[in-house]
Amino acid sequence: MTPLRFTIFFSIYAACLGTLAFVLNGVSGGTILIPKFWVVFGVLAVLTYSAFIVSWIGIRKGGEFSVYTILGSLVVKLLMSMAFALIYLTKINVDKVIFVIDFISIYFFFSAFEIWALLTNLRHPNKSE
């Protein structure tokens, strides 16, 4: 998957996730989203996009370097996400349970999409003869 194709699919995916969060928050009466939810959503989206681009560059270089690049980008994304969560929790008073549910669900959905996109780059193309 090229970066352009990833950008298009990821934009559609993020828009669908954002719409789902907006609708669920409206249905629940505004109680399931943390304050400044869209900031968290945006930061995790940018981290996911950046991690994919770094991984894609590593895959293009090939060899053992690609494995280190993929794992490194995923670990850096995880560490930066946790650092952001720590900063967010120290600056904003929020219900911790709601924060954990919101944060982990966003992180999981974005990571699942990123891993799916990386797997499409790693699989061997079928050769029809």
pLDDT in tens, 1-40: 889 999 999 999 999 999 999 999 999 888 899 989 999 9
Question: How buried is residue 18: exposed, middle or buried, by Cβ count under 10 Å (0-12/13-18/19+)?
Answer: middle
Q: How much is the CA Rg of the chain, to the nearest whole Å?
A: 17
- What is the distance between the alpha carbons of residues 113 and 127, in angstroms, rounded to a whole number? 26
- Predicted confidence (pLDDT) per residue in 41-98, tens digit: 999 999 999 999 999 999 888 888 888 999 999 999 999 999 999 999 999 999 999 9
pTM greater than 0.75: yes
SS3 category, 33: coil
Tally the C-alpha atoms within 13 A of residue 14's C-alpha that lie toward its C-beta.
21
Tally the C-alpha atoms within 13 A of residue 12's C-alpha that lie toward its C-beta.
5
pLDDT of residue 125: 54
| pLDDT over 90 (residue 127) | no
| pLDDT over 80 (residue 123) | no
pLDDT band at 129 (very low <50, low <70, confident <90, very high): very low
Query: Are residues 92 and 36 in contact, defined by beta-carbon separation less than 8 angstroms?
Result: yes
pLDDT of residue 30: 82
